[in-house]
Amino acid sequence: MSSLVGRVILFGYTWTLMHHMLGGIRHLMWDTGHGFGSVEREWLAIATLVGSISLTLIIWVLGYLFAGGWR
Amino acid sequence: MAVGKMSTPLARVRGLGAARSGTQQFWRQRLTAVSNVPLVIAFVFIVVALLGRNHAAVVQILGSPLVAVILLLFILSITTHMRIGMQVIIEDYVHDEGVKLILLMGNTFFAVAVGLACAFALLMLSFKV
């Protein structure tokens, strides 16, 4: 965490992890047969992207504000 | 299961498929997908909790029983999910049987090596505190 390059890689990894998780939850939902409509599919695609970016930013803000990311 | 000329087409495909193991991997990928969700959330919380701490504190946190068990479950679940996910991609996109066989073996070796290395590192921290 002391190098900028390391932080950028970790930030990117946080995003891919969150995006993969939300995409996976979407697939689990599809496994149950829900969410196949044209409107739902588009909405889910956007929600996955917005959700993964939001979660990544929240994790990093929490890390810096409350968990000593500056130290 | 007998898969000869006398068997019906249904009997021939039942329990087989590209991976020659039927739906077991399909089910295991869903199982680990579900178990990954709480484990990834716990993993992220643990990593964030480690930020800014010195080496001794990190060793103490990672070596504590609850955290270590959660992370061991995480390693098992993630590497299993990783192995099957990559295996499906190889089975779908590599059409040369020989290359496919080598890549599938290499993929399994890689996943097992990563999983054991992670587990070993964690257990070292747990038992050397």
- Residue B114's domain is classified under what CATH number? 1.20.1300.10
Under an 8 A CB cutoff, do A63 and B34 touch?
no
Q: Given a cut of 90, is residue B2 above it in pLDDT? A: no
Q: Given a cut of 50, is residue A69 above it in pLDDT? A: yes
Q: Two tokens at B22?
A: 């039927």
Rounded to a whole number of angstroms, the distance from the CA of A25 to the nearest CA of chain B is 8
B95 domain-assigned: yes
A41 — pLDDT class (breaks 50, 70, 90): very high
Rounded to a whole number of angstroms, the distance from the CA of B9 to the nearest CA of chain A is 26
Query: pTM for this structure?
Result: 0.84
A70 domain-assigned: no
Q: Considering its fold, how many domains does chain B have in total?
A: 1
Average pLDDT for residues B2-30, to the nearest whole number? Answer: 72
B120 domain-assigned: yes
DSSP 3-state of A67? coil
Q: Given a cut of 60, is residue B1 above it in pLDDT? A: no
Reported ipTM: the value is 0.88
Find all residues with CB under 8 Å of B36, minimum gap 6, and list them: A21, A24, B77, B78, B81
Residue B98 CB neighbours (<10 A): 8
pLDDT tens-digit profile of B46-101? Answer: 999 998 889 999 999 999 999 999 999 999 999 999 999 999 999 999 999 999 99
A46 domain-assigned: yes
Residue in A24, A25, A71 closest to B52 by CB: A71
Q: What is the DSSP letter of B4?
A: S
A71 domain-assigned: no
Q: Which domain holds residue B61?
A: 23-128
Q: Considering its fold, how many domains does chain A have in total?
A: 1
B91 domain-assigned: yes
Give the per-residue SS3 of chain B: CCCCCCCCHHHHHCCCCCCCCCCHHHHHHHHHHHHHHHHHHHHHHHHHHHCCCCHHHHHHHHHCHHHHHHHHHHHHHHHHHHHHHHHHHHHHHCCCHHHHHHHHHHHHHHHHHHHHHHHHHHHHHHHHC
A3 — pLDDT class (breaks 50, 70, 90): confident
**Measuring CA to CA, how many Å separate B65 from each of B78, B127, B129?**
20, 10, 11
Q: Which domain holds residue A49?
A: 4-65
B114 domain-assigned: yes
Return the minimum-mean-pLDDT range out of A45-54, A62-71, B81-90, B101-110. A62-71
From chain A, pick out residues whose CB is under 8 angstroms from the CB of B40.
17, 21
pLDDT at B18: 58
B16 domain-assigned: no
Under an 8 A CB cutoff, do B52 and A14 touch?
no
pLDDT tens-digit profile of A9-21? Answer: 999 999 999 999 9
Return the minimum-mean-pLDDT range out of B2-11, B36-45, B58-67, B75-84. B2-11
